[in-house]
Chains A and B, each alone.
Chain A
């Protein structure tokens, strides 16, 4: 009799632990989705502004060409290649912003100001997203989670690379 109670208790405990772990992982997946949606919308906005800058009279033709090409590449990149494509755009924008004082006379400062603000935000958004992705990958690698397939059919989150001092 004692044995039966013991095993029933153990089974209940295991069941509780598994359901707890599953909801923990579910929450992490949710977090990754949210942080990616935020980052993605910021990146889209940046690409749009970059194109606008490229079309305007702010930049010289060579810079315009570089900006347009990298903005299009960033927009059309697959999720796997997204972070490297975005870094290229960051680099191009960084080069342009470094010369900000000399290239802009008076107009369009607002546009460049917005771009700079956006770049700061993107850095923070990347940090948040990278953290949630690494956390999720770490948890999914654990034995319990693999053994009981607690991730279900959710795809493994794609690693997003930190940008160096590109921006």
Chain B
């Protein structure tokens, strides 16, 4: 039981300038800890500007490089390394929380440089890759220094055990469930509607799968409407849709957080046909908290969040016929829809920050050695002394 206020340093590997799952998680976690009275600093790649929250410390501008099949906005190098070191040295932290320490960015540098209570959170869920196993011998001595490991989902944990032979405690990503609970249904979005949220231009978000299923669905449910909320160019998407069905698809553009709650409360079904690349289905947790009936592809991260179909329906990923079948069945069965929505709304509380934050803090307590602050690693110190840098 630790009552005193801690000094906690969090390292975010991805650029703060762009929104993303890891960044959102770090932001919410930092704010949760600050609200509990702790001193928190977040070290992240960011452009220096007045918009940065007061707790964010910039380590320099991110570099965009292709990594693992996507463009990653990360930061490393000699300058970044010395920034990390002086941040740790001056921060006088009780604990460091490093996010995604297995990718070549700030968290890895901090893990290499630090000594003491360090917790690592692993977000990525990937298929078995020889490349990651190959860099294992470099990563292992570094990852080994973490006092405790957290994985955000069962699939992230399996990824970790398969690649780096180390185990982790599963604590999911958090949401502020209250923000979504009080959405009021809007008439224009009700009826036989399917809601889709996100950057629909990216194929991995799965909109093409949904649009391919539309002809089948409309044969059985003639008054079906697909509502798409999110930034992007709608005309390009519509070109691939049967002209007779184009009036069944509506684009709402980017919507605000309040609109999102209303949106989730209004639509008959919320659909997430993502084809992969998701480490955690945070959007599904939000949709459940908003009282929506969720339909999602059966990729591991989504199946985890939906309790393998207990709290929402799953269809075979990338299979539009399977999607159509699930959607038609649910739209015809109001009782089942309501059952799923109710089960989901209850389950969503499990992802609320009040719960998730407690669990993370519990790991902090167990990872800390009494009274020892985080310092620079001893072998690093002798090396820098040898090179005359310090």
Residue ID in chain A nearest B363 by CB atoms = A124
Residue ID in chain A nearest B378 by CB atoms = A23
A5 close to B (CB within 8 Å): no
Question: CA–CA, A31 to B166, complex, Å?
Answer: 14
A108 close to B (CB within 8 Å): no
Are A31 and B366 also in contact (CB < 8 A) when A124-B169, A127-B169, A131-B166 are?
Answer: no
Contact residues, A137-164 vs B (CB, 8 A):
138-139
Nearest CB in chain B: distance from A142 CB, A? 11
Are A121 and B366 also in contact (CB < 8 A) when A28-B144, A35-B147 are?
Answer: yes
Nearest CB in chain A: distance from B175 CB, A? 21
Contact mask B335-379 → A, CB, 8 Å, 1/0?
A: 000000000000000000000000000110111010000000011
Contact status A31-B147, CB under 8 Å: yes
- What is the predominant secondary structure among interface residues of chain A facing chain B? helix
A56 close to B (CB within 8 Å): no
Q: Select B147's contact among A19, A20, A128, beta carbons within 8 Å.
A: A128
Contacts of B201 in A (CB 8 A): none
Contact residues, A61-83 vs B (CB, 8 A):
none
Question: CA–CA, A105 to B115, complex, Å?
Answer: 49
Contact status A138-B165, CB under 8 Å: yes
A38 close to B (CB within 8 Å): yes
Contacts of A100 in B (CB 8 A): none
B145 close to A (CB within 8 Å): yes
Contact mask A120-139 → B, CB, 8 Å, 1/0?
A: 11001101101100110011
Contacts of A20 in B (CB 8 A): 141, 379
Contacts of A55 in B (CB 8 A): none
B148 close to A (CB within 8 Å): yes
Contacts of A24 in B (CB 8 A): 141, 144
Question: CA–CA, A127 to B148, complex, Å?
Answer: 9
Residue ID in chain A nearest B145 by CB atoms = A27
Question: CA–CA, A53 to B268, complex, Å?
Answer: 51
Residues of B within 8 A of A (CB-CB), count: 20
Contact status A34-B147, CB under 8 Å: yes
Contacts of A23 in B (CB 8 A): 378-379
Contact status B366-A124, CB under 8 Å: yes
Residue ID in chain A nearest B367 by CB atoms = A128
B149 close to A (CB within 8 Å): yes
Contacts of A35 in B (CB 8 A): 147, 366
Contacts of B145 in A (CB 8 A): 27
Contact residues, A28-45 vs B (CB, 8 A):
28, 31, 34-35, 38
Contact residues, B138-152 vs A (CB, 8 A):
141, 144-145, 147-149
Contact status A128-B362, CB under 8 Å: no
Contact status B366-A38, CB under 8 Å: yes
B167 close to A (CB within 8 Å): yes
Contact status A128-B169, CB under 8 Å: yes
Question: CA–CA, A139 to B378, complex, Å?
Answer: 20
Q: Select A121's contact among B165, B167, B362, beta carbons within 8 Å.
A: B362
Nearest CB in chain B: distance from A144 CB, A? 12
Nearest CB in chain B: distance from A93 CB, A? 19
Nearest CB in chain A: distance from B370 CB, A? 9
Contacts of B379 in A (CB 8 A): 19-20, 23
Question: CA–CA, A70 to B367, complex, Å?
Answer: 28
Question: CA–CA, A134 to B168, complex, Å?
Answer: 13
Contact status B169-A27, CB under 8 Å: no
Residue ID in chain A nearest B147 by CB atoms = A31
Contacts of B369 in A (CB 8 A): 34
Contacts of B378 in A (CB 8 A): 23
Question: CA–CA, A124 to B167, complex, Å?
Answer: 12
Q: Which 3 A-B pairs have the closest CB atoms?
A: A131-B167, A128-B148, A24-B141
**Which A positions have Cβ atoms within 8 angstroms of B?**
19-20, 23-24, 27-28, 31, 34-35, 38, 120-121, 124-125, 127-128, 130-131, 134-135, 138-139
A and B contact pairs by CB, cutoff 8 A, 21 listed: A20-B141, A23-B379, A24-B141, A24-B144, A27-B115, A27-B145, A38-B366, A121-B362, A124-B366, A125-B366, A127-B167, A127-B169, A128-B148, A128-B363, A128-B367, A130-B167, A131-B149, A131-B166, A131-B167, A135-B144, A135-B166
Extra pairs beyond A34-B369, A131-B168 (16, CB < 8 Å): A19-B379, A20-B379, A24-B141, A24-B144, A27-B145, A35-B147, A121-B362, A124-B362, A127-B167, A127-B169, A128-B169, A128-B366, A128-B367, A131-B166, A131-B167, A139-B144
